[in-house]
Amino acid sequence: MKLSFRWYGQDDPISLEYISQIPGMKSIVSAVYDVKPGEVWPRESLAQIKEECQKHNLVFDVVESIPVHEDIKLGRGDVDNLLDVYCENIRRCAEYGVKCVTYNFMPVFDWTRTQLDKKASDSSTSLVMYWDQMKGLDPLKDDIHLPGWDSSYTQDQVRELIGAYDKLGEEGLWKNLEKFLKKVIPVAEECGVKMAIHPDDPPYPIFGLPRIITNEENLDRFLALVDSPSNSLCLCTGSLGCAKSNDIPKMIEKYASKDRIAFMHIRNVKIMEDGSFEERAHLSSCGSLDMYEIVKALCKHGFDGYVRPDHGRMIWGETGKPGYGLFDRALGATYINGLFEACQKNCK
Ligand code: DNO
């Protein structure tokens, strides 16, 4: 496996120098963050990320994310032009050494949480999704500002989008995803890039918005749409792991054996009685997921894709972008290193 770390570019308070000091760190996961979805990424921006990483003996070879414009997901407006721009961005990333591109196909919002700084008994804070904080919220009636939601949309735009997705439904979203893949995957193949879809987070509908990258049956359907190693998964344990019905080690076994996992987001979550969840420290005993079984399943199939620790808690007084501080993600990375070392030796 290739250990990686997400870096938000020059504005990230966590320096590449610090990241490079984490044992075993090799790859940087980043993106051009100052260009809107649907626009072409300047080559200079990609060149700059690449050079900065090289100065610290790190390689910029994973992009997270090239965002998919809502009109592609909705199949409306100038979709063909938007798809051309998307393909051009893949080509440009490849020119600068990128081997894996992450994206998601979630309507309107990326991930959903109700609080980003929930204090645990040890005074660390983390992201949570509590159903009792969600109850009674109706985005069609109320003005909702859930933490982390794209503030560039006005409430009226959000309502319009929700209405459009309601009409489209799950099958419509599948159709548009298929169109996207049929256009984009051949380009990725040509440039030696693996496209890695991120699962829906959480993997069930919120506010009635369709969600399709949610469980084993749907991942099978997704991978069959275009049967190519360039059409792969970013298997996020914490996102899929919010649904009790998802058996994560079993899913990893299956997709790693077929070489369809390009990228692993490894983190732990605690699922509560009522289906709410809390992001927790990476260690198995801290949450609902068995991290040893997860890494064992990867090692069994000689997984050599990218891995990154995901969403850390805020600990040791650190402040910053929720989920993306240095300390707890670095602890996660060293734990992941330990699990891989042990499992790899056991597999020999
Ligand atoms: C959350 C991330 C996601 C992920 C996108 C990929 O912290 O895992 O925002 O980057 O869904 O497109």
291 vs 120: CA distance, rounded Å: 21
Using alpha carbons, select from 213, 248, 242, 241 the residue that is nearest to residue 102. 213
pLDDT at 135: 83
Using alpha carbons, select from 19, 83, 7 the residue that is nearest to residue 48. 7
Report CA Rg, the chain. 19
As to burial, measured by CB atoms within 10 angstroms (0-12 exposed, 13-18 middle, 19+ buried), residue 168 is buried
Measured in angstroms, how far is the CA atom of residue 6 from the centroid of ligand 1? Answer: 10
pLDDT digits (tens, 9 = 90+) for 164-210: 999 999 999 999 999 999 999 999 999 999 999 999 999 998 888 99
Ligand 1 atom 7: the closest Cα is on which residue?
311
Residue 58 identity:
L
Pairing between strand 125-129 and 277-280? Answer: antiparallel
Measured in angstroms, how far is the CA atom of residue 57 from the centroid of ligand 1? Answer: 25
Return the SS3 of 296.
Answer: helix
Show Cβ contacts of residue 241 under 8 Å, excluding neighbours closer than 6 positions: 248, 268, 269, 271, 288, 289
Q: Say which DSSP state 314 is in.
A: B
Is residue 152 pLDDT above 80, yes or no? no
**Residue 293, phi then psi, degrees to nearest 5:** -65, -35
Q: Say which DSSP state 129 is in.
A: E
Catalytic residues: 198, 236, 265, 310-311, 324
Ligand 1 atom 2: the closest Cα is on which residue?
111
Q: How many CB atoms lie within 10 A of CB 114?
A: 18
| Per-residue burial over 306-327, b = 16 or more CB atoms within 10 Å of its CB, e = otherwise | bbbbbbbbbbeebeeebbbbbb
Mutate to test the pocket of ligand 1, among 4, 8, 63, 65 (most ligand atoms within 8 A of CB): 65
336 vs 332: CA distance, rounded Å: 6
Is residue 150 pLDDT above 80, yes or no? no
Is residue 145 pLDDT above 80, yes or no? no
Strand partners, 289: none
Ligand 1 atom 12: the closest Cα is on which residue?
103
31 vs 66: CA distance, rounded Å: 7
pLDDT at 148: 66
Return the SS3 of 55.
Answer: helix
Yes or no: say if 239 and 198 are a contact pair by the CB < 8 Å rule. yes
Q: Give the ligand 1 atom nearest the CA of 65.
A: 12
pLDDT digits (tens, 9 = 90+) for 237-260: 999 999 999 999 999 999 999 999
pLDDT at 147: 67
The superfamily (CATH) of domain 2-108+170-347 is Divalent-metal-dependent TIM barrel enzymes (3.20.20.150)
Q: How far is residue 216 from each of residues 110, 118, 241, 250, 297, measured CA to CA in Å? A: 20, 30, 12, 9, 16
| H or E stretch covering 5 | strand 2-6
Residue 49 Cα to chain centre, angstroms: 20
| H or E stretch covering 298 | helix 291-300
Measured in angstroms, how far is the CA atom of residue 30 from the centroid of ligand 1? Answer: 11
Compute the mean pLDDT over every residue in the chain, rounded to the nearest whole number: 95
Please state the rounded mean pLDDT for residues 322-327.
Answer: 96
Mutate to test the pocket of ligand 1, among 104, 129, 235, 266 (most ligand atoms within 8 A of CB): 104
Q: Say which DSSP state 10 is in.
A: G
Ligand 1 atom 9: the closest Cα is on which residue?
110
Q: Give the ligand 1 atom nearest the CA of 311.
A: 7
Q: Give the ligand 1 atom nearest the CA of 239.
A: 8
Measured in angstroms, how far is the CA atom of residue 345 from the centroid of ligand 1? Answer: 31
Which two three-digit tokens encode residue 123?
């005074």
Return the SS3 of 341.
Answer: helix
pLDDT at 142: 76
227 vs 213: CA distance, rounded Å: 16
Residue 153 identity:
Y
pLDDT digits (tens, 9 = 90+) for 292-306: 999 999 999 999 999
Around ligand 1, the residues with Cβ closer than 6 Å are: 64-65, 102-104, 110-111, 198, 236, 265, 311, 323
Measured in angstroms, how far is the CA atom of residue 348 from the centroid of ligand 1? Answer: 34
Residue 16 Cα to chain centre, angstroms: 21
Measured in angstroms, how far is the CA atom of residue 234 from the centroid of ligand 1? Answer: 10
Using alpha carbons, select from 215, 213, 235 the residue that is nearest to residue 106. 213
Yes or no: say if 313 and 126 are a contact pair by the CB < 8 Å rule. yes
Where residue 348 falls among pLDDT bands split at 50, 70, 90? Answer: confident
281 vs 333: CA distance, rounded Å: 11
Mutate to test the pocket of ligand 1, among 198, 265, 308 (most ligand atoms within 8 A of CB): 198
Yes or no: say if 226 and 184 are a contact pair by the CB < 8 Å rule. no
Please state the rounded mean pLDDT for residues 270-299.
Answer: 98
pLDDT digits (tens, 9 = 90+) for 85-138: 999 999 999 999 999 999 999 998 888 899 999 999 999 999 999 999 888 788
90 vs 63: CA distance, rounded Å: 10
Read off the pTM: 0.96
